Chain A
Amino acid sequence: DGGITQSPKYLFRKEGQNVTLSCEQNLNHDAMYWYRQDPGQGLRLIYYSQIVNDFQKGDIAEGYSVSREKKESFPLTVTSAQKNPTAFYLCASSISRLYNQPQHFGDGTRLSIL
């Protein structure tokens, strides 16, 4: 079945450590997105990518970095500069970033601080 796979499901970060969240899709979608979800709040866009080797900052990119070396993969690194990383992280994709295309989501990664 086609879909989006996020791993790991749970991740713990130590002080000063960078951690990387994986997102892989086999939907042949060009566009991919990373969102952060905090309790009681809507999703906030961190980064998005419209094609391979291209990505753009979203509303809350500070303290995060991404890469898009393959169409299928869009990993997110939470750096030590992100002072409040505890959240639920969701990866999504769409056929393109044309605005009439629906988004499809993975099952998320929950990041906590040790």
Chain B
Amino acid sequence: KQEVTQIPAALSVPEGENLVLNCSFTDSAIYNLQWFRQDPGKGLTSLLLIQSSQREQTSGRLNASLDKSSGRSTLYIAASQPGDSATYLCAVSIGSFGAGTRLTVKP
């Protein structure tokens, strides 16, 4: 069974910092990996989807990479802003989610 781990569970940074969120998974036979953002009490908003054949995807200040052989993905956020404060979750294929990293960006 696929196990997905996100470390750290929480992260607090000052505004303007570049930061990296980590996602690791145990079974490298994946179809895709999707990064989501969740605001308190809300549903999930899709940020980036990386297909298994891809190495990375970019959208604005966000860049996600995928290394299937090592079972890792990273989400890079450039020039963080207070509005980036949320919980970030990764999902491997469909149905396997990490517990998320709660990010706080301080003004």
**A residues near B94, Cβ cutoff 8 Å:** 33, 45, 48, 94, 97, 99, 103
| B residues 34-72 touching A (CB-CB < 8 Å) | 34, 36, 41-46, 49, 51-52
**A residues near B49, Cβ cutoff 8 Å:** 102
**Range, interface on chain B:** 20 to 34
| B residues 1-30 touching A (CB-CB < 8 Å) | 4, 9
Bound Cα distance from A48 to B89, whole angstroms = 20
Q: A42-B89, A43-B89, A110-B41 are in contact. Are A103 and B46 (CB under 8 A)?
A: yes
| A residues 1-22 touching B (CB-CB < 8 Å) | 4, 6
Contacts from B to A (Cβ < 8 Å): 4, 9, 31-32, 34, 36, 41-46, 49, 51-52, 89, 91, 93-100
Q: Nearest 10 A-B pairs (CB), nearest first?
A: A99-B31, A42-B97, A105-B43, A43-B97, A105-B44, A45-B95, A107-B43, A102-B49, A42-B99, A108-B43
